Amino acid sequence: MGQQLKQPFLERRLFTERVIIAVIIVMIAFLLLLSRYFYLQVISHQDYQIQADQNRIKYSRINPTRGLIYDRNGVLLADNITAYRLNIIQEKTRNLEQNLIDIQSTIQFSAEEIADIKEKLKFNPVFKPLTIKEKLTESEVAMFAVKRHRMAGFEIEPYLIRKYIYPNELSHLIGYVGKISPKEFKAQDVNVYSANDYFGKTGLEKYHENDLHGYPGQLVTEINAQGKQLSQKVKKPPVNGNNLELTIDIALQQSSYQAFGEETGSAITVDIATGEVLAMVSKPGYDTNDFINGISHLKFKALAESADKPLFDRSLKGGYEPGSTIKPYIALAGLYHDIIDKDDTMFSSGVYQIPNQERKYHDWKQGGHGKVDVIDSLTESVNVFFYDLAYRLGIDKIHDFLKPFKFGQLTGIDTAGEKQGILPSREWKEKNRDMIWFPGETVITGIGQGYFVLTPVQMAQALSILASKGRVAAIHLIKNDITVSQLPMNISDSDWNTVHQGMTNVINAPNGTARAIKSDQYLIAGKSGTSQVYGKSEEDIYKKVEELPKHLRNHALFIAFAPADDPQIAVVVVAEHGASGTKAAAPIAKKIIDAYMSQADE
């Protein structure tokens, strides 16, 4: 076989092709490298700059200070005090199990608490602090400071916590704050709230959360590669929450709370001219400070299961029949519609019957009151007079007349939790009971029984309108501009005076039902009432109160304004299961009025 001849041309061509391919590969690689460089240095420069900054700059939230709450005279009611919490940062712990054992030589944890901490750490980023105990004692803080060098991963953080100065007296009115729940946090702006914030849960704290909370600031800290702090500055200062100035007079609030003694119930005092609520008590109250960091299960169970229902706000949510406290309004309706005149009389035999019906409607006084007019009927609370007047008025006129007084409606008071109640009418019964209205229901409406459900705050609004002769000053708890209007009906001054005279006689006439609380220093006008707890049979009507167990006794009501000749305040009292408005509720109202008048004289 012969020797193969060389082919220089083909070899050079092959070499050139390989060089070209190599150059193309190199150029492609270079272009890829260049594009990556362009991407990193130009397109993604900002993102990587931020990441680089975050490696050396730490951004921290500066919590705003929650607004304070004061009474009308500048007395502090809700404060912020410094407290301390214990945090753990998992990445800084050397041995988590051992660290959790070591910390218990300084700060005590139960086995359940330790198990809970371990569970939370599973879902908490290792670099993020986790709060494991709030409100450390001074001794715990001091002991931790001494042993800090052995407590790797733990740190103590100061923070502000709410402190209520008059927790029981104002428990329902101010309410309380607690740790924001996941549901509440989800509904808030993450730029304003953190998962560790406090949040208004009830009362004014809840209703005015947006005003009280404020807006967080931002702190910038520069650190080096070893984590040492180089500098620190406030990038954005926090905006603290607004303070609230209440219409409440804390001295009168305390007097109102104490006036109940061992009774439970509600009392509200309103400045008639302005609609400012001077005192609003629901008794019993409870210590709102127990709820701030989470109340213990045993404490909460005791409150929730108490027969006295301390967690229930009777002033805003309690629903009661008005009983005979509705009679002044029924009398005014009769005068306004010319159904009766000031001098018209009727004979009260103690029993009333609708024409052509057998059912008997009884008076509270066996045998009746004899010949009475409208003033007499208010003075002695004559049921028969108001049975007849209500029947002649009819439910339509009664409903339409009472509605502008805010009965059975939300008053719009500036706090959380108000319930609506019921002002009975044909339409209401048809809608809610799917039944027609009966004449007998109109009869008992005249003495505040039947479907009526009113809250004490509604009674207070209506009473201030009655006392001021039709001037509607919207009741409120925060000092602000006063909203005033007039009733949408032209009631004569003579008719107002007739009703006022009857209410004045209740306390000041020899035969007045509440003459026991008469004052020698000033005139009180008022009206007592009882709110039925259960329906009585005919033979039970005149049974003595003492024969009934406490929980079956009627609620006792009393409404009053003073001084009667120049009304300044309206007072509503509900004494639950007090049985008699004159014996249980009226003395409480008298103590409240005395407290107000003594302050006014100072």
Q: What is the CATH number of the domain that holds 488?
A: 3.40.710.10
Say how many CA atoms lie within 13 Å of 96 toward its Cβ.
Answer: 12
Cα–Cα dist 428/518, whole Å: 40
Query: 336 and 281: one domain?
Result: yes
- Distance CA(551)–CA(529), nearest Å, equals 18
Contact 225, 214 (CB under 8 A): no
- Range from 11-15, 65-69, 276-280, 556-560 carrying the lowest mean pLDDT: 11-15
Percent helix, strand and coil across the chain, each to the nearest 5? 40, 20, 40
Q: What is the pLDDT of residue 119?
A: 79
Q: What is the domain extent for residue 502?
A: 250-285+311-601
Q: Quick check: 217 and 236 in contact, CB under 8 A?
A: yes
Q: Is 294 within a domain? A: no
What is the C-alpha to C-alpha distance for residues 214 and 459, in angstroms, rounded to an integer?
A: 35
Contact present, 406 and 459 (Cβ < 8 Å): no
Rounded Cα–Cα distance for residues 363 and 389 (Å)? 14
Q: Are residues 236 and 259 in the same domain?
A: no
Q: Among 439, 429, 278, which Cα is nearest to 354's?
A: 439
- pLDDT over threshold 90, residue 337: yes
Asked, for residue 9, whether it belongs to a domain, the answer is no
Q: Report how far residue 326's alpha carbon sits from residue 459's, in angstroms, rounded to the nearest whole number.
A: 9
**Cis ω for the linkage preceding 563 (within 30 of 0):** yes
**Does the pLDDT value for residue 334 go beyond 90?**
yes
pLDDT at 457 > cutoff 60? yes
Note the pLDDT tens digit of each residue in 543-574. 566 566 677 778 899 999 999 999 999 999 99
**Do 150 and 101 belong to one domain?**
yes
% of the chain surpassing 90 pLDDT: 62
Mark whether 392 and 496 lie in a shared domain: yes
Same domain (yes/no): 276, 353: yes
Q: Catalytic one among 324, 381, 425, 531?
A: 324
Name the range with the highest mean pLDDT among 131-140, 293-302, 544-553, 588-597: 588-597
**Domain count across the chain:** 2
Q: Which residues contact 106 (CB under 8 A, 6 or more apart)?
A: 140, 143, 144, 147, 151
Q: Give residue for tokens 């702006």.
A: 189
CA gap 291, 339 in Å, rounded:
55
Tell me, what's the pLDDT at 549? 66
| Ramachandran angles phi, psi of 574, nearest 5° | -120, 115
Residues 188 and 266 in one domain: no
Count of alpha carbons within 13 angstroms of residue 397, beta-carbon side: 18
pLDDT value for 563: 97
User: Of the residues 245, 264, 295, which one is the last residue of a structural domain?
Assistant: 245
Q: How far is residue 489's CA from residue 497's CA, in Å, rounded to a whole number?
A: 16
For residues 206 and 291, what is the distance between their CA atoms, to the nearest angstrom?
Answer: 14
Same domain membership, residue 215 and residue 347 = no
**Structural contact between residues 205 and 174, judged by C-beta atoms closer than 8 angstroms:** yes
* Span 467-494, pLDDT tens digits: 999 999 999 999 987 889 999 999 999 9
pLDDT at site 12: 75
Q: Is the pLDDT of residue 380 over 90?
A: yes
What b/e string do you get for 93-105 counting C-beta neighbours within 10 Å, with b at 16 or more? beeeeebbebbee
498 three-state secondary structure: helix
- 294: alpha, beta or left? (left if phi > 0; alpha if psi -120 to 50): left
pLDDT at 1: 45
**Residues 275 and 218 reside in one and the same domain:** no
Tokens of 555: 């609620």
pLDDT at 536 over 60: no
Lowest-pLDDT range, 353-367, 414-428, 543-557?
543-557
pLDDT value, residue 63: 87
- As a whole number of Å, the end-to-end CA separation of the chain is 139
Under 8 Å between Cβ of 518 and 310: no
- Give domain status of residue 29, yes or no: no
Confidence at residue 2, expressed as pLDDT on a 0 to 100 scale: 46
Residue located via tokens 């104490």: 258
User: What is the C-alpha to C-alpha distance for residues 129 and 118, in angstroms, rounded to an integer?
Assistant: 13
CATH number (domain holding residue 216): 3.90.1310.10
Say if residue 172 is in the same domain as residue 104. Answer: yes
Residue 302 lies in a domain: no
- Look at residue 495 and tell me whether its pLDDT is greater than 70: yes
Most confident of 125-129, 204-208, 235-239: 204-208
User: CA-based diameter of the chain, in Å?
Assistant: 156
Asked if residue 121 is part of any domain, the answer here is yes
In this predicted model, what pLDDT tens digit does every residue of 14-26 receive, in sequence order? 778 788 888 888 8
Does residue 165 sit within a domain? Answer: yes
Catalytic status, residue 324: yes
Output the pLDDT for position 415. Answer: 95
pLDDT at 483: 87
Name the average pLDDT for the chain.
88
Same domain, 183 and 264: no
Q: Report the pLDDT value the prediction gives residue 545, as an integer from 0 to 100.
A: 61
Task: Decide if pLDDT at 44 tops 70.
Answer: no
3-state SS class at 550: helix
Residue 522 burial (CB count, 10 A):
16
**Full-model pTM:** 0.84
Q: Are residues 226 and 254 in the same domain?
A: no
Q: Residue 155: is its pLDDT beyond 50?
A: yes
Tokens for 560, please give them.
């009053």
What average pLDDT does this structure show over 263-268?
A: 96
Phi, psi of 169, deg, nearest 5: -65, -30
Collapsing DSSP to helix, strand or coil, 334 comes out as helix
Instruction: Please tell me whether residues 229 and 272 are part of one structural domain.
Output: no
Dihedral angle sign, alpha carbons of residues 567, 569, 572, 575: negative
Rounded Cα distance between 473 and 570, Å, is 12
Whether residue 127 lies inside any domain: the answer is yes
User: Within a domain: residue 189?
Assistant: yes
